[in-house]
Chains A and B, each alone.
Chain A
Amino acid sequence: GAVVSQHPSWVICKSGTSVKIECRSLDFQATTMFWYRQFPKQSLMLMATSNEGSKATYEQGVEKDKFLINHASLTLSTLTVTSAHPEDSSFYICSARDPGTLYQETQYFGPGTRLLVL
C-alpha cells in the first residue's frame, strides 16, 4: 500500500510555543490530506481537510487560527499548533487521499505525532 510519513513522531514543548508537524505522501500525489486528533481510548476525530493550493476546510469547533494548515505541494501538508497549551496535548494523525482509479479512492495514514505541552 501507499506510504505516508509524519515528522516528528513525538514532540515536547513549553506552553506558548508553536509546533509544526509535517505529513508527506511518499509514493503518490495527494491533492487532499486530512488531519485527525485522537484522544486516549477514543476514535479519530477529523480536524480539517487540507487541499493543495487552497485553504483548508476546518471541522466545526476547530480553531483555524490555532491549528494552521498549509498544503503547499502535492506531497506535503503541515499542521502548526500555534501558542500551544497543555490541553493541546494529543496524538495527531494525518492521512493522504490516494484517488486511485474510479471508485477506488483510499486514505492512507501516517504513524502519528504525539504532542506533549508542558
Chain B
Amino acid sequence: AQKVTQAQTEISVVEKEDVTLDCVYETRDTTYYLFWYKKPPSGELVFLIRRNSFDEQNEISGRYSWNFQKSTSSFNFTITASQVVDSAVYFCALSEAPGTASKLTFGTGTRLQVTL
C-alpha cells in the first residue's frame, strides 16, 4: 500500500526566512510519481511539481526547490526567502506507475504561515 507522511502539521516563519517542508513516502512500485500541490487560504489545489521516480535530479524554480532522495524515500520542498503569499497548505502526493488510471495518495498537508 502507498503512504505519504508529512510530519509537520503547521509551520510558522517570518518573511524572508527559508523553510523546508518534509515529505516521506512508502510504495512497493518501482515506478511512481511524486507531486507537490499548494492550497491557498481561499482557492483550489494548485499543481507545483511532478517528479518521476527514475529522475532523481533536484529541481529549482525561482524561490522553490525540491530535493528527491530515493534512498530515504523523501521528497522535500524548500521555499527560499519566504513571502506572505506563500502562506497556504502544502500537500505532497504519490501516484502509481504511469499508463494506469493513476490514483493520488495524499499526505495530510503542512500549513505554512508566513508573517511580516
Q: Which residues of A line the B interface, CB within 8 A?
A: 1, 4, 32, 34, 42-44, 46, 49, 51, 57, 93, 95, 97, 102-112
Contacts and interface: CB of A to CB of B under 8 A. Distances in A.
B103 A49 contact: yes
A42 B101 contact: no
Contacts of A109: 37, 44-47
A42 B9 CA distance: 10
A105 B102 contact: yes
Contact of A43 (B43, B44, B50, B109): B109
Interface of B is mostly: strand
Interface residues of B, number: 22
A43 B101 contact: no
A103 B91 contact: no
Contact of B98 (A44, A51, A57, A102): A102
Contacts of B102: 97, 105, 107
Given A43-B106, A97-B102, A105-B98, A1 B47 contact: yes
Contacts of B33: 105
Given A49-B101, A105-B98, A44 B91 contact: yes
Q: Pick the 9 closest A-B CB pairs, nearest first.
A: A109-B45, A111-B44, A43-B106, A43-B108, A32-B101, A44-B106, A109-B44, A49-B101, A103-B52
A43 B52 contact: no
Contacts of A1: 46-47
Nearest to A3: B44
A108 B106 contact: no
Given A43-B109, A44-B91, A110-B44, A51 B101 contact: yes
Contact of B108 (A4, A34, A42): A42
B108 A57 contact: no
B66 to A, nearest CB: 15
B86 to A, nearest CB: 18
B104 interface: yes
